[in-house]
Structure 1
Amino acid sequence: MSKRATLAVLLPTLALTLVGCTGEDGGKDDGGAGAEDLGGRLSAARTVLDDAASLELDLATKALPSGVTGLLDAAGTGTHAPAFEGDVTVSLKGVPVKAEVVSVDGKVYAKTGFAPDFVPLDPATIGAPDPAALVAADDGISSLLEETDDLEDGGESRDGRDVLTTITGTIAGRDVRALIPTAQADATFDATYRLTEDDVLRDVTLKGLFYESDEPVVYTIAVTASDDDVEITAP
C-alpha cells in the first residue's frame, strides 16, 4: 500500500480517537456543567421562588463569634408583600432570646417571654435583619441566586429520595448586606446552593464575615415555595 493510501486510512481513525479523548466539544469530558448552564439553573430556581404565593423559611447558624449580638435562627412563613410571621432567636452577647415575630408594612413586632403582648422592635438594635426582607422578591434571598459569581458544579448528592445538584460560588458583601445588614460590605461570601432535578432550591449555605468579627459565620437557609395564599397582618 502506498504512503498516501496509508494516511487516508489512518487520519479518520486518528480524528475519531481524539474526539473520544476530549469529548465532542473539545473540552474535558468530566460530566460537569459550564458556568452558563449553572447560572441558568439558578435563574430558574429564582423564578420558582419569586412566583410562589408564599414561602416557608428556616434560617439557622450553629454558633456566633463570642460576645456577638446577632441572629441565631428564624423560622416561619413569608410572602412577597413582603411580610413574615414566625419565631426568631437572637443572641444578646451570648444569651439566646427567642421571640414570636410579625413583620408587615415595613414594621417589626416581637413578643418574648418577658412580655405578654407584641411590641414594636427595631431589629437593627439586636443585630438582626427584618425577617420580611429575606422573602422580598426584588432583593430577598432569591436575588442572591443571580448575584453569585465564580460558579462551579459541586456534583450530585442524595437527600432522601431526591437527587440534588450542588452549585458553589461567591457573593459580594454588599449584596449579602441587603439581607443581613450586619454583613461586612467589603467582604466576599461563599455560597453553596442545592437544587433538585427540577431546579427547585432546597437550601443555600452562606459563609463569611456577617458581623464585626474576624471569625466567619455560616448560615444555612432552607426555603420551600408554596401555592398557598397567606395573609399576614399586624398584631
Structure 2
Amino acid sequence: MKKLVTFGAVLVLAVSLAACGGKKDNAAAKTADDPVALLTEVKKTIDDAASVHVVITGRDLPSSGQVLASGDGVATHAPAFKGKLTVRTAGSPIDAEVVAVGGKVYAKLPFLPGFNEVPPSQLAGLGAPDPAILLDPAKGLTGVLPTLKDAKIKGDTRDGAKVLTEVTGSVEGKTLQGIFPKAPADQDFPSSFKIDKDTKQLVSATITGPYYDGATSSYDVTFDKYGEQVEITKP
C-alpha cells in the first residue's frame, strides 16, 4: 500500500508540474504573438537595467536651423548620463561632452574651457533632450513602447547569433517630446523596433517623422551593454 501511495503522489506531482509548464509555455506564446505585450516586457527589461549604452543617429535632417545630429553615451536610472551630443546649428556641427547628474546638465564645448552648466531649456532649444531622462520610465525611450499605435509583429531576422523580432507601428509625437523636444505633439511617427528574442532586450529603434519644420527625418537608436555598473558624478 505504501508503494501505491508514493506512486500516486509522484503521479499527482508530475501532472501538476506539467500543467504549470503548460501555463508558462502558453504565456510565452501569447507574448510572442501580442506586440503590445512584447513591448511591455521589453520596457520592463530596460526599466530593470542598471544602465544601458545608447547611440542616437539622425538622418535626413534639415540643413538649416538647430537640430540634434547624434548622441552616444551611457544612461542610468539615477537618473544620469555621460557621453557626447552633437547638435547642428545652421549646418555646422558642434560636439559636446556631456554629463547629466543630480538634476543638472554639464557640457564641455569646443569654444569654452572645462565643463559648464547648461540649462535643459537651452538644450531643448537646440533640439536635444536632457540626456539624464533617456531611461526615464515615463518620459524616456521606454515610455513610447506600450503606447505604440497599430503595433504589429513583422517577423524574425537573424543578426549573427541573435534572432531579432521586429515590431512596427506609430509613435505619438506627444510621447517623444521628452527625448526629441521639437517633435510636434499632434503628429504620428512611423517606427520599427528590433528586439532580441531570447533576452527581450531592445536592440534598435528607428523613428521617422516631422521632427523639424519642412523635413521628414529619422532617428536610429541602438541599445547595448545592458546592466553594466556605471558611476556618473558631477565633473
| Distance in 2 between residues matched to 1:145 and 1:216, nearest whole Å | 21
Kept after mapping to 2: 8 A contact 1:86/1:100: yes
Q: Which has the larger radius of gyration?
A: 1
Aligned to 2:95: 98
- Match for residue 215 of structure 2? 215
Q: Corresponding residue for 1:178?
A: 178
In the aligned structure 2, how far is the partner of 1:154 from the partner of 1:43?
Answer: 17
Across the aligned residues of Structure 1 and Structure 2, the Cα RMSD in angstroms comes to 1.8
Counterpart mapping for 1:106-121 below 5 A:
106-121=103-118
Deviations 1:104-129, CA, capped at 9 Å, x for gaps? 12211111222220011131232211
Q: Which amino acid is 2:37 matched to?
A: G
- Is this contact kept in 1: 2:33–2:153, CA < 8 A? no
TM-score normalised per structure 1? 0.81
Large movers: runs of 4+ above 3 Å = 33-36
Classify 1:234/1:34 alpha carbon distance in 2 versus 1 (closer, same or farther; 3 Å): closer
Q: Is the 8 A contact 2:32 2:38 kept in 1?
A: no
Structure 2, gaps ≥5 residues long: 1-29
Q: Take 2:152 and 2:227, find their aligned partners in 1: how far apart are those partners?
A: 31
1:113-152 map, 5 Å: 113-121=110-118, 122-152=122-152
Alpha-carbon distance, 1:133 to partner: 1.6
1:209 partner letter: P
Please give the per-residue CA displacement for 1:148-173, whole angstroms capped at 9, x wherever unaligned.
Answer: 01011222222222121111011111
In 2, distance between residues paired with 1:35 and 1:77? 29
Check whether the contact 1:55–1:79 (CA below 8 A) recurs between aligned residues: yes
State the distance in 1 between where 2:95 and 2:43 align. 30
**Alignment check: 8 A CA contact 1:99 1:110 kept:** yes
Structure 1, 176-185 or 70-79: larger mean CA deviation: 176-185
Distance apart, 1:228 and its partner CA: 2.4
- Report what 2:160 is aligned to: 160
1:220-231 pair list within 5 angstroms: 220-224=220-224, 226-231=226-231
Equivalent of residue 79 in structure 1, options 73, 76, 92:
76
Separation in structure 1 between the aligned mates of residue 47 and residue 225 of structure 2, nearest angstrom: 9
> In structure 1, how many angstroms separate the alpha carbons of the residues matched to 2:37 and 2:151?
11
Q: Report the equivalent of 1:200.
A: 201
Residue 65 (1) aligns with residue 62 (2): yes
- Alignment-derived partner of residue 233 in structure 2: 233
Distance 1:34 1:82 in 2: 29
Residue aligning to 2:19 = none
Shift, 1:178, TM fit: 2.5
Displacement of 1:139: 2.1
Note the residue ranges of structure 1 that are not aligned, 5 or more in a row: 1-32
